[in-house]
Structure 1
Amino acid sequence: MTSKNDHIRSLYFEKLAGIISAEDESDLEVLLATDAMAKQIWESLEEQAINLRTEEFLRCTDSRKALDQVYSRRVNKKFRLPIYIYWTAAAIMLLISGSGILFLLRQLHTITVDPKLATQQLLDIHKNQSIQLITNNGTIVKLSDHTSGIISMGGIDLQTQPGELTSMHTGAQIVMSTLIVPPGKTYKIILADGTAVWVNSGSSIRFPSRFESDTRDVFLDGEAYFEISPHATSRFLVHTKEVTVQVLGTSFNLRAYRGESTQTALISGSVQVDAKDGSSMRLSPGKIANMGINGFFSQLFDPDELLAWREGIYYFHHIPLRELAPVMERWYDIAVIFDHPELSGQAVTGLMEKEDLQHFLSDLKTSMGVDYEVRNGQLHFK
């Protein structure tokens, strides 16, 4: 039943978006004429579409304009959005999961946001939090207060510009510093060896003012993307609670949030991931090493999707809401509560934008009937 339901839904939205093939359309006509259950599902979808005014949306949408609006949000143009997301030139996204269809309507005038929810207030709150740099002698610098210039702090000169920090060692003593990126923020740092690190929301990285041994060691709690500066004799080591990743010159993404499984994704070069229990895995580009209960396992991934967090976008594919909740908590600095535990198991597929919480929640409610409310600084799904 579920398989047939999903198949009919897929054909329905392909036909609605105008991309159904002639062969599929012919097969569909036969199916609807001979299968009563298929016809019932089809009629139910038509009724839902009328209620959601979906066909009206498709008729009035300027697909070229919609596509331009989507791409105009992308700061770094080297990231492409996978083509399967766009069914009508990005005017409407129909991402189908086993438990529901998530409509992501990207033109603001077509979305009605529930006025009782003050989600914008949540975004305003986390925008006021500061990115901090703390040295081992207790000196604290709020980097959010510095747009550009040089900050001197006990043996370290810091060159700052909006959203980026470059560490330049000037003293004789090596100073350890910790960069703390709060929920809702991201930040880039250039280490003393030229390695570039993009640090995600709710993360911290500890690093020295200079590297002078045969290893270059940094310590990560959370998620970061690394572009390692090559060095002929000095390995670069990233230490987390569960694993250590060692490289010579490469680029990779490491996700190591507390309470979540550790994930190392290799973009280029070669890395070896060593677990605390002695197990290890060597990766080739395009593969992820996941640290599970029974050790490592690997899988392929799409770099454009995985690294989209640097642009404030998070893609998810058929995952339960409970796995999406920690991402929402980091991005929007809000506690996520499931008033009914069974809601946490509902699977969703789609994307979430850091500056667009209201529309994500509205899409979720429209497509899957998941209601929500903000109470006392908490987001309740009910």
Structure 2
Amino acid sequence: MSIFNKIIELSNQIASSILKHEKPKELLDSDLFTDSDKKYILEHLTDEKLIKRAALLKQIDKKEAWSEIESKIEVPVRKLSIWKYSAAAAIVIMASTIYFSKDQWSHKEQIKVVATKSVINPGTDKAILVLASGEEVALGKGSSYNATGVHSNGTEIIYGNTNSNKESTVYNYLTIPRGGQFFIKLADGTKVWLNSDSKLKFPVNFVDGAPRQVELVYGEAYFDVSPSTEHKGSHFNVLTSNQNIEVLGTEFNVRAYQDTPIIYTTLVEGKVNLSGSFQTTILKPGQQSVLDNHNIRVASVDVFNEVSWKEGIFSFQEMPLKEIMKVLERWYDIKIIFKNKAIENNTFNGILDKNQKIEEILNIISNTNKIPYEINQKTVIFK
């Protein structure tokens, strides 16, 4: 189980304990956080909004909340240095969110749900592979695909680097529909997680010594790039419509959807050079570039918030409802309408499981923001 899925599990346990007025005991020793880390996290739990949230939770003591976290965490985590503060805070925030929403569920007049035969399900592993010949192969749960140098078990597709000395390069496309996600391992060993409504163009094989290049045609992808030292020094490049990302061996996230001209690049580990019709920019771990047309700016961000989608989590921090709904539209393959445009910019904080029913997520958002909604077939309407 990944650390992020573990966080969700722990959050639910903590929230349940809070609701039952229980105090988890039997603290476990953990090397997940140092004493200085705990001090840092506790200091951040004094944020004004968290204090207000804690008041709604019958004034939960911060040290007790941390003890509850510490008593549950028992998983060693790889590369947690960037994420651990956000991860721990997420547990308390989510526990607070769950409690707050449940406390508000008694106000049923706020929510109106239209009964419908249409079932809205969370997204699943599915994709369309387009071969160089133009042939399309549907990939998904319960299906398999095998060809020379490539195979898929329905949840991922793996390429082997056969015929790597060929001078010509043959490309395939992997398209992820709305309501889908998929993992691909490229022929050079690079790992790519693709989010809903995304499309990747990639070579079937890489030519020894030549630059390794793929194109994120649109959508969102997380890259764990095989280092150039394993490929005779050849660099790895990710192209988007207005940007080239040059990497030497690193992990980063790119978000470049069709419904917005803005491209977000978030560096988790390593180093990347960004170039295009703007001044070449270098990112450091924990930084995000925002490219809006030809203007680029760089800032430090909460990496967990940016990449948690690949671990099955929605992490929303002070995010406007209109942006949250774009995420939900892609994952649940639904349409969301705001009748009252004034509420589009209302913000929401929450750490939520992507496998939750859409009604559960909408109830939390609706009750927290006191905004009624209704579901009609596969359309959600906020009043």
Q: What is the TM-score when the length of structure 2 is the normalising length?
A: 0.71
2:231 pairs with 1:231: no
Amino acid at match of 1:140: E
Amino acid at match of 1:193: D
5 Å matches for 1:11-30?
A: 11=52, 13-14=54-55, 16-19=57-60
Greater C-alpha Rg: 1
Note if contact 1:225-1:252 (Cα within 8 Å) is conserved in structure 2. Answer: yes
Q: Distance in 2 between matches of 1:120 and 1:359?
A: 16
User: 1:135 matched to which residue of 2?
Assistant: 131
Cα separation, partners in 2 of 1:134 and 1:120, compared to 1, 3 Å = same
Cα separation, partners in 2 of 1:9 and 1:119, compared to 1, 3 Å = farther
User: 2:90 matched to which residue of 1?
Assistant: 85
Cα separation, partners in 2 of 1:207 and 1:8, compared to 1, 3 Å = closer
Cα separation, partners in 2 of 1:285 and 1:111, compared to 1, 3 Å = farther
Q: 1:203 aligns with which of 155, 180, 198?
A: 198
CA offset at residue 278 of structure 1? Answer: 3.6
Note if contact 2:162-2:205 (Cα within 8 Å) is conserved in structure 1. Answer: no
Deviation by residue 1:271-292 (Cα, 9 ceiling, x = unmatched): 01113x2432101111111113
5 Å matches for 1:308-327?
A: 308-327=308-327
Cα separation, partners in 2 of 1:363 and 1:160, compared to 1, 3 Å = same
Cα separation, partners in 2 of 1:238 and 1:192, compared to 1, 3 Å = same
Q: Distance in 2 between matches of 1:235 and 1:105?
A: 51
Note if contact 1:219-1:239 (Cα within 8 Å) is conserved in structure 2. Answer: yes
Note if contact 1:131-1:144 (Cα within 8 Å) is conserved in structure 2. Answer: yes
Q: Distance in 2 between matches of 1:111 and 1:178?
A: 48
Q: 1:123 aligns with which of 105, 114, 121?
A: 121
User: 1:28 matched to which residue of 2?
Assistant: none
SS of 1:131's partner is: strand
Q: Distance in 2 between matches of 1:77 and 1:328?
A: 28
Q: Distance in 2 between matches of 1:202 and 1:71?
A: 35
SS of 1:186's partner is: strand
Q: 1:10 aligns with which of 30, 41, 51?
A: 51
Q: 1:215 aligns with which of 208, 211, 216?
A: 211
5 Å matches for 1:101-116?
A: 103-105=100-102, 116=114
Cα separation, partners in 2 of 1:259 and 1:169, compared to 1, 3 Å = same
Cα separation, partners in 2 of 1:377 and 1:166, compared to 1, 3 Å = same
CA offset at residue 218 of structure 1? Answer: 0.5
CA offset at residue 119 of structure 1? Answer: 9.8
Deviates more, 1:178-187 or 1:78-87: 78-87
CA offset at residue 301 of structure 1? Answer: 2.0
SS of 2:179's partner is: coil
SS of 1:324's partner is: helix
User: 2:23 matched to which residue of 1?
Assistant: none
SS of 2:196's partner is: coil
5 Å matches for 1:1-382?
A: 10-11=51-52, 13-14=54-55, 16-19=57-60, 82-87=87-92, 91-93=95-97, 103-105=100-102, 116=114, 121-123=119-121, 127=124, 130-144=126-140, 147=143, 151-152=146-147, 156-168=148-160, 170=162, 174-212=169-207, 214-220=210-216, 221-232=218-229, 233-260=233-260, 261-275=262-276, 277-292=277-292, 295-356=295-356, 357-382=358-383
Q: Distance in 2 between matches of 1:160 and 1:247?
A: 27
Note if contact 1:119-1:374 (Cα within 8 Å) is conserved in structure 2. Answer: no
Structure 2 unpaired stretches of 5+: 1-46
Deviation by residue 1:214-253 (Cα, 9 ceiling, x = unmatched): 2111111111111111124211111111211111111111
Q: Distance in 2 between matches of 1:140 and 1:341?
A: 40
User: 2:22 matched to which residue of 1?
Assistant: none
Percent identity between the aligned chains? 28
Q: Distance in 1 between matches of 2:107 and 2:155?
A: 31
The aligned length equals: 316
SS of 1:83's partner is: helix
CA RMSD of aligned residues (A): 3.8
Cα separation, partners in 2 of 1:305 and 1:71, compared to 1, 3 Å = farther
Note if contact 1:255-1:262 (Cα within 8 Å) is conserved in structure 2. Answer: yes
Note if contact 1:332-1:354 (Cα within 8 Å) is conserved in structure 2. Answer: no
CA offset at residue 304 of structure 1? Answer: 2.7
Amino acid at match of 2:158: T
Cα separation, partners in 2 of 1:312 and 1:169, compared to 1, 3 Å = same
Q: Distance in 2 between matches of 1:361 and 1:122?
A: 12
Q: What is the TM-score when the length of structure 1 is the normalising length?
A: 0.71
Amino acid at match of 1:167: Y
